[in-house]
Amino acid sequence: MLGRLNHVAIATKDAVKAAKIYGTAFGVQISEAVALPEHGVTTVFATLPNTKIEFIEPLGEGSPIAKFLERNADGGIHHVCYEVVDIIASRDTLVKEGARVLGDGVPKIGAHGKPVLFLHPKDFSGALVEIEQA
């Protein structure tokens, strides 16, 4: 069973700048920038009443979002992240239903310290989907 939408991730060349208008025009609480070298991104969060917007900026060589920003110079909505109660059971159900899991199918520890998997955009209407153990 699918849980909450944990966050919407927006890729950008400057996460602090991207989040700024959410603070100034929308009055949203904006986090400090946090560098996550092991994930190749710097993140800034905007906290909404029911979910978060995560601004991600490339960090270091070979950032996983570098190619996306080559194709989308202004940035863009990069992925959605859904919470699941049991990531292994969810993965197995997804595969049974014909969805492809990216990488080797073994959950990695994500940016929030919890196991995550990414699913193939072609199986989700072109949307990159992350599932995160709740």
Pick the piece of the chain touching its own copies (CB under 8 A) from 31-39, 59-67, 108-116, 124-132: 124-132
Residue 51 vs 114, nearer CB to its own copies: 51
Residue 45 vs 55, nearer CB to its own copies: 55
**Cross-strand partners of 56:** 11, 43
Report yes or no: 52 and 46 within 8 Å, Cβ to Cβ. Answer: yes
- Nearest distance from C-beta of residue 94 to its own copies, angstroms: 5
**Whole-angstrom Cα distance, residue 97 to residue 10?**
28
Catalytic-residue membership of 70: no
34: contact with its own copies by CB under 8 A: no
85: contact with its own copies by CB under 8 A: no
- Of the candidates 58, 81, 106, 108, the one whose C-alpha atom is nearest the C-alpha of residue 5 is 81
